[in-house]
């Protein structure tokens, strides 16, 4: 059902791209937009990971350069029964993480230096389990394709403001409404997949409260600390575990409080791997039982 819903929403986003083409160039513009959208999707399919990683200037790490972080991801991938993804670090102060790639065999996960410096070992583990959850659920390609097309719709709209010929009120409305419509479709796709990745993370790590604690810590910082990539390309916000620089109404993610509540419900249903299911402890993020050893990305 989720696959069908996502397919329909992607089709709607492509149709919106065609409407933008029609508003700018008539029937020929619509056909050209369809061809461009098809070409973009095909290009993204083969190059999704390269696009996202280059955008963030991510640096690949391995067991020799960052043994603790790499071994953590390796262990989580084994638990999730996934091929070992490539592991990257992004030199960025904002605490965040993302996953990319067209399928589990060609996937990559990345964390920022801000996230690795801020969180405890268990919390980082929860975040990386979430990203592997996206890989396991095959969300990574869809998320990159949606970000690419939504970004193209916004670009066309900006182009139309300056170069649109006189096509009346309908064309003018298309230029202004299309980016908002693309944003709504993008949100509809992404929000459902975030809950699924949170649940997968709890299953992979066995520590739902670790992820809940991580979300609690980084959500506020993600709003206060700038993310240059998201500022240049707002459509990229859906790639991160926590979006940045957007109001909740316009966010591609569910409210962080709702995600935390869902994770707490999972824990209260039966804690695992040393995590308490006591209601008072679940409600207090400051008393989580974590191993206080944040990973040092510069080591």
Which strands, in side-by-side order, build the sheet including 97-101? Answer: 59-61, 86-90, 107-112, 97-101
- φ, ψ of residue 109 in degrees (nearest 5): -125, 150
CA separation for the pair 229, 110 (Å, rounded): 14
Query: How wide is the angle at C-alpha 203 spanned by C-alphas 252 and 90, nearest 5°?
Result: 50
Q: In the annotation, is 131 catalytic?
A: yes
Q: Contact at 8 Å (CB) between 140 and 99?
A: yes
Instruction: Judge whether 91 and 259 are in contact, CB under 8 Å.
Output: no
Helices (H), the chain: 2-56, 67-79, 113-118, 121-136, 140-163, 168-205, 208-224, 228-232, 256-268, 279-283
Contact 257, 230 (CB under 8 A): no
Catalytic residue among 105, 123, 125, 131: 131
All residues at 6 or more sequence positions from 227 whose CB lies less than 8 Å from its CB, including other chains? 92, 94, 96, 240, 244, 245
List residues with catalytic annotation.
131
């Amino acid at each position: 059902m989720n696959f069908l819903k996502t397919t329909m929403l992607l089709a709607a986003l492509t149709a919106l791209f065609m409407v933008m083409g029609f508003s700018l160039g008539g029937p020929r513009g619509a056909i050209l937009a369809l061809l461009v959208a098809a070409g973009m999707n095909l290009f993204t399919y083969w190059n999704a990971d390269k696009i996202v990683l280059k955008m963030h200037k991510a640096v690949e790490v391995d067991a020799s350069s960052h043994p603790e972080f790499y071994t953590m991801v390796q262990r989580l991938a084994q638990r999730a029964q996934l091929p070992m993804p490539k592991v990257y670090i992004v030199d960025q102060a904002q605490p965040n993480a993302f996953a990319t790639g067209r399928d589990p065999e060609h996937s990559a996960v990345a964390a920022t230096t801000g996230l690795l410096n801020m969180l405890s070992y268990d919390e980082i583990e929860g975040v990386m389990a979430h990203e592997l959850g996206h890989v396991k659920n095959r969300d990574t390609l869809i998320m990159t394709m949606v970000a690419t097309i939504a970004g193209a719709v916004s670009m066309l709209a900006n182009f139309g403001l300056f170069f649109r010929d006189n096509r009346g009120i309908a064309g003018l409305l298309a230029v202004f409404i299309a980016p908002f419509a693309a944003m709504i479709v993008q949100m509809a796709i992404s929000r459902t997949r975030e809950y699924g990745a949170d649940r997968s993370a709890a299953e992979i790590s066995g520590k739902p409260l670790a992820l809940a604690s991580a979300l609690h810590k980084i959500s506020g910082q993600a709003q206060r600390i700038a993310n240059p990539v998201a500022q240049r390309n707002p459509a990229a916000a859906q790639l991160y575990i926590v979006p940045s620089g957007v109001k909740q109404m316009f966010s591609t993610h569910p409210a962080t409080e709702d995600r935390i509540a869902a994770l707490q419900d999972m824990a209260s249903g039966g804690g695992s791997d040393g995590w308490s299911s006591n209601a008072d402890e679940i409600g207090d993020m400051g008393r989580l039982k974590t191993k206080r050893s944040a990973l040092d990305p510069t080591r």
